[in-house]
């Protein structure tokens, strides 16, 4: 067994291992069903080195030479499609389909041509490079891309360059006079080893993307209030700390409003906890509608809520809180109990901690309750 054949066999195993890993993640985590596309891409990719082995070991040279190229190109395009599906990128099938059809046409056009010549090798590698470039395009279209997605895009730029470089390597080292002779060439060893490194890199990046998604979803669930669908205290504290840091770094204003449903215990006692839950959910819905669209909204306690608004001073925040208070009085549904809400507002002071900001807003909330409830007070700067 030559070194190239051994590398091909290893590549088959690596591709199938990644395919199985992606499929397992998709089956274990329902939210990751799109990972099955990655499993499909690597399953198809495993056929490429397998076909190249069969070119050497069987008399069906033409058949397996064709399947080797077709599966390699299809696998690369499927990876781009998988990223598009996973990241929610709207794409057209026309571009990858055009690359695939054009690639097959170019492969047919150079079939039987002079191997190790620059035109032959460039026409052979160019569609594969374009397939990698397609993934780069997909990753640059991801809404609000994370640094990891930018790294993926950069890696596929490198892969695209690798395929172009392979044309020059084939000319320099020689890929063998025939497809059967390819497996015994020095170029085959270089190509398969380089391909293995690239395949490992892509597979590990995909796993990182999948694991990050699982982690983000788990954190999102842990930081979301199940009854209202808004942030809970844990989620509020984490995101509010980040907002305070931005405000301090950029010298921008930031304000917070705290709310407490008036006489909520009496509602639970008179109508039961199911009705109390309905009231809490209804107030959360009002917050979503009436609070500024950029506000961080959270349920911080049983009947306690908060909104945090960046780039906003205390008075506009107080006006938003007043609009919420009035909405509670006017948007009551027919059979629901009559409720009101009290609020306290404070503006971030440079050097202040989140706990200190919340404490000042809480003092204003208690002032509002002490003054008869159904009021919003704000701290004076």
The DSSP line for 338-381 is P--EEEEEEE--TT--HHHHHHHHHHHHHHHHHTTSS-EEE---
Residue 355 pLDDT = 95
Residue 330 pLDDT = 85
> Do 4 and 183 touch, CB atoms closer than 8 A?
yes
Residue 333 pLDDT = 54
Residue reference for tokens 């982690």: 215
Full set of structural domains in the chain with CATH: 3-222 (1.20.1070), 233-378 (3.30.70.270)
Helices 186-222, 233-250: crossing angle, 10 deg rounding: 110
Quick: pLDDT tens for 124-145: 999 999 999 999 999 999 887 7
pTM (2 decimals)? 0.72
- Rounded to a whole number of angstroms, the CA Rg of the chain reads 30
**Catalytic: 250?**
no
Quick: pLDDT tens for 135-194: 999 999 988 778 889 999 999 999 999 999 999 999 998 888 887 777 678 888 888 788
Element (H, E) at 75: helix 61-87
Contacts of 171 (CB under 8 A, 6+ apart): 116, 117, 118, 121
- Residues of the chain whose pLDDT is less than 50? none
Beta-bridge partner residues of 258: 306, 344
Choose, from 52, 121, 303, 347, the residue flagged as catalytic: 303
Q: Furthest-apart CA pair in the chain: how many Å?
A: 93
* φ, ψ of residue 356 in degrees (nearest 5): -70, -40
Residue 203 pLDDT = 92
Best CA proximity match to 308, nearest among 295, 298, 318, 321: 295
C-alpha 109, offset from chain centre: 40
């Amino acid at each position: 067994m030559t070194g190239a054949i051994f590398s091909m066999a290893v590549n088959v195993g690596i591709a199938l291992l990644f395919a199985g890993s992606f499929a397992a993640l998709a089956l274990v985590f329902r939210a990751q069903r799109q990972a099955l596309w990655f499993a499909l891409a690597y399953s198809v990719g495993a056929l490429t080195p397998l076909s190249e082995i069969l070119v050497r070991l069987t008399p069906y040279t033409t058949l397996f030479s064709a399947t080797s190229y077709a599966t390699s190109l299809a696998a690369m395009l499927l990876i781009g499609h998988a990223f598009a599906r996973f990241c929610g990128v709207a794409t057209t099938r026309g571009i990858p389909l055009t690359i695939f059809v054009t690639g097959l046409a170019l492969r047919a056009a150079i079939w039987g041509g002079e191997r190790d010549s620059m035109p032959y090798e460039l026409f052979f590698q160019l569609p594969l490079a374009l397939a990698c470039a397609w993934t780069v395009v997909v990753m640059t279209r991801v809404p609000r891309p994370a640094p990891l997605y930018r790294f993926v895009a950069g890696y596929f730029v490198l892969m695209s360059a690798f395929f172009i470089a392979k044309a020059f390597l084939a000319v320099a080292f020689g890929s063998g006079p025939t497809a059967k002779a390819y497996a015994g060439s020095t170029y085959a060893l270089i190509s398969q080893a380089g391909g293995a490194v690239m395949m490992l890199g892509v597979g590990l990046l995909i796993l990182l993307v999948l694991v990050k998604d699982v982690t983000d979803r788990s954190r999102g669930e842990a930081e979301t209030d199940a009854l209202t669908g808004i942030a809970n205290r844990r989620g509020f504290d984490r995101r509010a700390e980040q907002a305070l840091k931005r405000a301090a770094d950029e010298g921008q204003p930031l304000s917070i409003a705290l709310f407490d449903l008036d006489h909520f215990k009496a509602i639970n006692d008179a109508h039961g906890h199911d009705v109390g839950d309905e009231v809490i959910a209804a107030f959360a819905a009002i917050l979503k509608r009436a609070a500024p669209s950029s506000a961080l909204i959270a349920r911080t306690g049983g009947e306690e809520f908060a909104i945090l608004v960046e780039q906003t001073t205390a008075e506009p925040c107080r006006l938003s809180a007043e609009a919420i208070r009035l909405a509670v009085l006017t948007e009551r549904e027919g059979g629901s109990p009559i409720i009101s809400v009290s609020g306290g507002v404070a503006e971030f002071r440079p050097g202040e901690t989140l706990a200190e900001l919340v404490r000042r807003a809480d003092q204003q909330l208690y002032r509002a309750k002490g003054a008869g409830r159904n009021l919003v007070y704000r701290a004076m700067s």
